[in-house]
Amino acid sequence: MKLVSRELDKGGAGYVTMIPEEAEDMWHAYNLVGVDDTLQSTTIRKVSNETSTGSVSVNRVRTTLTIRIETIEWDTQGCVLRVKGRNIQENQYVKMGAYHTLDLEMNRKFTLGKNEWDSIALDRIELACDPTQRADLAAIVMQEGLAHLCLITPNMTLLRAKLETNIPRKRKGSCSQHDKGLAKFYDQIIQAILRHVNFDVVKCLLIASPGFVKDQFMEYMVQQAVKLDYKMLTDNKSKFVLCHSSSGFKHSLQEVLQDPSVSTKLADTKATSEVKALDDFYQMLQNDPSRAFYGVKAVEKAAEHQGVEMLLISDELFRSMDLKARRRYVRLVDQVKEAGGDVRIFSSLHVSGEQLGQLTGVAAVLRFPMEDEESDQED
Amino acid sequence: MSRHRNVRALNYEDDYYDEDDVYGHSVEDNYCISPGTAEQFTFDRDRNVALANYMDEQEVIHEEEEPGEELTQHRVSHDPARPTLSEIDEARLNSCLDEVRSVLGDSVPEHVIVEVIVRHNFSIEGAFNELLNQQEAPKPQREPRDNRRNRSQGEKSSSASTTKVATKPDEFPVSKPAVILQSPKPKYPSDATKPQLQTSDPVDNVKVDLKSLNVSSQSSQKVADNKNSMLSSDIKPDDSQVPLTLKPDIEAISAKGGVNVAKPEKDCLTVDNVDSGVGERVDGNSLQATPKKERFIPPLPKSSSKSKYEKFDLKQEYKKRNSSKEMLNLVVIGHVDAGKSTLMGHLLFKLGKVNQRTMHKYEQESRKIGKSSFMYAWVLDETEEERARGVTMDIAQTQFETPSKVITLLDAPGHKDFIPNMITGTAQADVAILVVNATTGEFETGFESGGQTREHALLARSLGVQQLLVAVNKMDTVNWDPSRYDEVVKKLGQFLKQAGFKEGDTSYVPVSGLAGENLAGPVKEARLAEWYKGSTLAEQIDKFRPVVRPVDKPVRVILSDVFKGLGAGLTATGKVVSGAVQLGDRLSVMPAGEYTVVKGISINDEAVNFAFAGDHVQIVFTGVDITNVGVGSVLCDCQTPVVCASRILARVVLFNLEVPITRGFTVIFHYQTVTEPAILKKLVSQLNKSTGEVVKNRPKCLTKNSSAVVKNRPKCLTKNSSAVVEIELEYPVCVELYKDNKELGRFMLRSSGHTIAAGLIEEVLKTKTKDGTE
């Protein structure tokens, strides 16, 4: 993301102009926009003109519109953000109050106005504009008959392909169907790699599976690449990394990222640090349950006593439509930060973020043991 | 063949014109025919000429329809015969028509329906009565055979149309007097006098008629046809029976307002209520009533009567089989490289299940790749990958016999990455052999917390295996030292007792898989014979107690593999968990909810007519697409289908955990042959492990032995605790409650390569998500 200009007053109201440069930036934009904010961007609109004789002509005009946001749509896998709202700046084509849907696009400037830019939103802008946070990674988790091909960016895990095939089991006296099924399955994965992985960007492709599936696949792929002359695969052979996972389901991606041999390679990616943080939380829960809390109320209480050492919070909560709810979480984050605690905002698109989301979205590792109140646990 | 294609593709017109050039016309004619003249005088086949235009008006309607011509019937033609009506009447007529169509399909020609409706003054009830009676009344008969032949010959000449017109009036009973549905059945008693006909015939009859009712593509002509042929063999007696069976079906349909009956099971029941007793026919009805074309199973008079005959026999057959040899499913488990495959491979060889030549081949080949010690394992490890690596990866299944038993052997993989496969195998087994490696150090690694000896034993116990035989393997490496044997037995004994195996149900045998010592036949090794006087492995296997199987319960076949076999239909392997299956059975496939017919059953590559609970079968079935069946699908009884759940309430016992379980924990749910990702949605309560009392309600997490503290909603669950949790599955899985079926009510939970819990399904909860399986 490129930050073009920033105009904020003391109270935190103001405008920020940005240019998204890659798919990931759309995700950041999605996390920034909120209902009742204003958004300005160029767009194309169908305008119908009625002449004095009564004939109507419809043309498409490129114009700049400013809308007050009412609904936000986000396509996770396609990274498309559509924002709908009413026009608040009349121009020659569009009347005041007319509805319009802005499509935010790559490399097109947009200006976002908020009545209150809180610390989370400002951090997000900073994060988005930080060019050092790049480590594009692709991963395949697989088991016999099931494979997930994911692209992992600092803030997103995008499931690019899910392959499910029925592979006949080995039976007494006949393995040919099993072998055939397996070869077909591997072919599908190879096709998925060719289609979805851009090796110019991807620095590393993890192949994870239980048992020997990964080795078998790697062997098969290299064989096929030579046979069918897949330049892309043969040239990038060094980018493939084999590692272990316990299954081919998507959530075992977390295990892969936890694997020390992998995590050292990807040292600074957000994905691995999130996985690590969540793991720390669980370890604490195991060793000293009174130092690991989850659920908003419990964590808030701990934060009041300045007891939070590390706060894990899902960014899903900040996208809350309810402004009050959002304020509550922002206050929690600020409180922890003031007290010198560590705040990890999990991307809900990562597997670890998904899990945190299941765990009410807020969890904390405490500095000292606290009695937990159990009655108000459930929300 | 290409020659024929050429002929087919030939443009005959060209030929004719060429001929015309030569024979037909003068030279000028060839070029100077004006389009107008051509249109007037030449007959062009390519144009859509309705031949009917050239004939008598009535002729338009149905002639003997070939199945391929059905389409023309479907068109809502504006029949010229339709009476002229006012606009309102027209509308009423149309709505009536739709109603009637939805029930009768196209079995009755439109003009007949129109006429009837008008006659009944647009009353649907009346029209139905009359129409249905017409169906049952003598059908439009096909003209006598000779006549027909004459006609078909005559058709070639142009003069045929006259004969057709002449026969016409007979063919349609348009103005037949209406017989009311509840009319007395005059011919019914006559039926009773012919008992030998009764067995097969009513079934056929019903099927034929239902078909005409529900499956729209059948024309009335066709029905008449079928009937005709049938009647020719067995006179008329059953005609009157048709309304009897027809009625309930129609009711079932019209009650739901159309043919689109969504829930076949329900339908099954309604029909069942009306004419209970004849199981075969009920199935038939329910099948016919389903709207989908794929589900339509053509009537199989032969097999239905045949299977009925067998159904009678099933219990006796089962007794007969039990009296000969007991079936037993045996799984072989143990730590990786304990020698499971080698032990069993050698046992099979000793029992003569593998012939000398094959064994020699394995020996040669394994030596070639430098793994000659794996030669016996190759008997069971058949894929290239398994042989090359010397590791079993998937369950291998084979069969052998002991003096009193037929054993289905399942060889499980020991490697920890293949535990999912091992679970599928163990879930299908009744008894187990736990193989442990007696070699110094090896036993310990397998037995300690990271090893699979422990995990496998716990898994087996949790999956319902009660009898365990421990084979202390590789005794030759410790010189058949009795003290080592005792040490292993002692250590294991303690653990197994803890795990829940009764002492009387566990036995120990010292063996050597590679040397083949103490497997079958007398002990040759002097060092062993010195101190060991017990039975050999084969003898010990023979001593397993038989298992009681739920043969009387509804049929459940859990599939472990689906593939395209030879011939039509799909082939699947699986285990009959309860009930009995036989050829020709109509079963439903869950969770797809499709219907299917069993076309073939084989046990151990031998075709059989029926299979009982406990059998591992290979089933061929038709009527279902391969995309709708998969590993974990269940073939079950239509009337008592298995429940599909995506949210369950379960009681779990936690094993050794690395991290505690909180809500939102992602696990892998292993149930029978299925592995499915799942999420622990809620921790409902924590239980006291020994008493089963609720310790904490709605725990925040499940922790270790915290039974002293009485708390609501603990926050997490840790080691060795027991709890009630709510689990949500990604896709629906067919399950049974523990209280209904002990064997099918168990499941395992695993996470990141460790088995974390065993559970019992207590309740199936309503799904809140989109796909309402409830």
pLDDT digits (tens, 9 = 90+) for B697-733: 555 555 544 443 334 456 666 667 788 888 888 888 8
Comparing alpha-carbon positions, the chain A residue that sits nearest to B358 is A173
Chain A CB within 8 Å of residue B393 CB: yes
Residue B31, pLDDT > 80, answer: no
E-assigned strand segments in B7-157 = none
- Report the helix count and the strand count for chain B, using DSSP H and E: 27, 26
Distance CA A370, CA B6 (A): 90
A293 chain-B contacts, CB cut-off 8 A: 715
Q: How far apart are the first and last CA of chain A?
A: 36
> For position B312, what pLDDT does the model report?
52
Lowest mean pLDDT among A143-147, B86-90, B300-304, B541-545: B300-304
Lowest mean pLDDT among A187-201, B4-18, B300-314: B300-314
* Chain A closest-CA separation from residue B409 CA (Å): 12
Q: Tell me, what DSSP letter sits at residue B216?
A: T
Cross-chain Cβ contact B395/A169 below 8 Å: yes
Split at pLDDT 50, 70, 90, the class of A275 is confident
* Chain A closest-CA separation from residue B22 CA (Å): 59
Backbone φ and ψ for A81, nearest 5 degrees, come out as -120, 125
Comparing alpha-carbon positions, the chain A residue that sits nearest to B570 is A168
Q: Tell me, what DSSP letter sits at residue B555?
A: P
Residue A379, pLDDT > 60, answer: no
Cross-chain Cβ contact B698/A285 below 8 Å: no
Backbone φ and ψ for A94, nearest 5 degrees, come out as -115, 130
Residue B417 is nearest to which of A169, A211, A378, comparing CB atoms?
A211
Chain A interface disruption, residue of B394, B409, B421, B658, most A CBs within 10 A = B394
If you compute the radius of gyration of chain A from its CA atoms, what whole number of angstroms results?
Answer: 25
Our CA angle for B696, B701, B707, nearest 5°, is 40
* Chain B closest-CA separation from residue A169 CA (Å): 6
Distance CA B330, CA B115 (A): 70
Share of chain B above pLDDT 70, in %: 60
> For position A147, what pLDDT does the model report?
92
> For position B215, what pLDDT does the model report?
41
- Enclosing H/E stretch for A7: strand A2-8
Higher-pLDDT residue of A269 and B297 is A269
Cross-chain Cβ contact A179/B397 below 8 Å: no
Cross-chain Cβ contact B698/A173 below 8 Å: no
Residue B380: closest CA among B449, B331, B431, B429:
B331
> For position B531, what pLDDT does the model report?
86
Lowest mean pLDDT among B146-155, B255-264, B435-444, B537-546: B255-264
Comparing alpha-carbon positions, the chain A residue that sits nearest to B660 is A286
Structure ipTM: 0.73
* Chain B closest-CA separation from residue A294 CA (Å): 8
* Chain B closest-CA separation from residue A264 CA (Å): 20
pLDDT in tens, A218-231: 999 999 999 998 88
Residue B660: closest CA among B720, B581, B609, B574:
B720
User: Do the Cβ atoms of B734 and B635 come closer than 8 Å?
Assistant: no
Report CA A333 to chain centroid distance, whole Å. 20
B630 chain-A contacts, CB cut-off 8 A: 166
Cross-chain Cβ contact B664/A360 below 8 Å: yes
Residue A289 is nearest to which of B415, B677, B716, comparing CB atoms?
B716
Split at pLDDT 50, 70, 90, the class of A329 is confident
Query: Average pLDDT in the A306-332 region?
Result: 84
Distance CA A224, CA A232 (A): 12
Query: Average pLDDT in the B551-561 region?
Result: 86
> For position B692, what pLDDT does the model report?
56
Our CA angle for B567, B568, B574, nearest 5°, is 90
Split at pLDDT 50, 70, 90, the class of B198 is very low
Share of chain B above pLDDT 90, in %: 1
Residue B563, pLDDT > 70, answer: yes
Distance CA B701, CA A285 (A): 8
> For position B183, what pLDDT does the model report?
42
Comparing alpha-carbon positions, the chain B residue that sits nearest to A246 is B753
Note which residues in 690-719 of chain B have CB less than 8 A from chain A: 698, 700-701, 703, 711-716, 718
Q: Is B205 exposed, middle or buried (0-12, 13-18, 19+ CB in 10 A)?
A: buried
User: Do the Cβ atoms of B412 and B340 come closer than 8 Å?
Assistant: yes
Residue B136, pLDDT > 80, answer: no
Higher-pLDDT residue of A22 and A301 is A301
Residue A285 is nearest to which of B391, B417, B662, comparing CB atoms?
B662
Residue A210 is nearest to which of B417, B664, B712, comparing CB atoms?
B417
A283 chain-B contacts, CB cut-off 8 A: 659
Mean pLDDT of chain B: 70
Note which residues in 598-657 of chain B have CB less than 8 A from chain A: 605, 626, 630-631, 657
> For position A84, what pLDDT does the model report?
92
Higher-pLDDT residue of B254 and B503 is B503
Residue B560 is nearest to which of A169, A178, A285, comparing CB atoms?
A169
* Chain A closest-CA separation from residue B541 CA (Å): 22
Comparing alpha-carbon positions, the chain B residue that sits nearest to A211 is B417
B561 chain-A contacts, CB cut-off 8 A: 168-169, 171
- What residue type is B651 in one-letter code? R
Give me the helices (H) in chain A, please.
Answer: 23-32, 119-128, 176-196, 213-228, 231-235, 253-258, 260-265, 270-287, 296-304, 323-338, 351-358
Split at pLDDT 50, 70, 90, the class of B53 is low
* Chain B closest-CA separation from residue A138 CA (Å): 20
B715 chain-A contacts, CB cut-off 8 A: 285, 289, 293-294, 372, 374, 377
Query: Average pLDDT in the A58-63 region?
Result: 88
Query: Average pLDDT in the B68-95 region?
Result: 60
Residue A136: closest CA among A20, A32, A277, A239:
A239
User: Do the Cβ atoms of A143 and A213 come closer than 8 Å?
Assistant: yes
Residue B250, pLDDT > 80, answer: no
Residue A282 is nearest to which of B561, B563, B659, comparing CB atoms?
B659
Comparing alpha-carbon positions, the chain B residue that sits nearest to A292 is B715
Residue A182's beta-bridge partner residues?
none
Compute the count of residue pairs across chains A and B with CB atoms less than 8 Å apart. 126
> For position B533, what pLDDT does the model report?
83
Chain A CB within 8 Å of residue B561 CB: yes
Cross-chain Cβ contact A168/B561 below 8 Å: yes
Query: Average pLDDT in the B512-539 region?
Result: 84
Comparing alpha-carbon positions, the chain A residue that sits nearest to B604 is A172
Comparing alpha-carbon positions, the chain B residue that sits nearest to A283 is B659
Cross-chain Cβ contact A357/B750 below 8 Å: no
Cross-chain Cβ contact B573/A378 below 8 Å: no
> For position A111, what pLDDT does the model report?
92
Comparing alpha-carbon positions, the chain A residue that sits nearest to B717 is A286
How many residues in chain B? 774
Cross-chain Cβ contact B384/A179 below 8 Å: yes
Cross-chain Cβ contact A175/B397 below 8 Å: no
Distance CA A374, CA B320 (A): 61
Residue B563 is nearest to which of A168, A247, A355, comparing CB atoms?
A168
Backbone φ and ψ for B750, nearest 5 degrees, come out as -130, 155
Residue B226, pLDDT > 60, answer: no
A211 chain-B contacts, CB cut-off 8 A: 393, 415, 417-418
Token couple for B324: 């000969």
Note which residues in 652-681 of chain B have CB less than 8 A from chain A: 657-660, 662-666, 668, 675, 677, 679
> For position B47, what pLDDT does the model report?
61
Chain B interface disruption, residue of A172, A184, A223, most B CBs within 10 A = A172
Cross-chain Cβ contact B753/A210 below 8 Å: yes
Residue A315, pLDDT > 60, answer: yes
pTM of the model: 0.64
Comparing alpha-carbon positions, the chain B residue that sits nearest to A357 is B664
User: Do the Cβ atoms of B220 and B140 come closer than 8 Å?
Assistant: yes
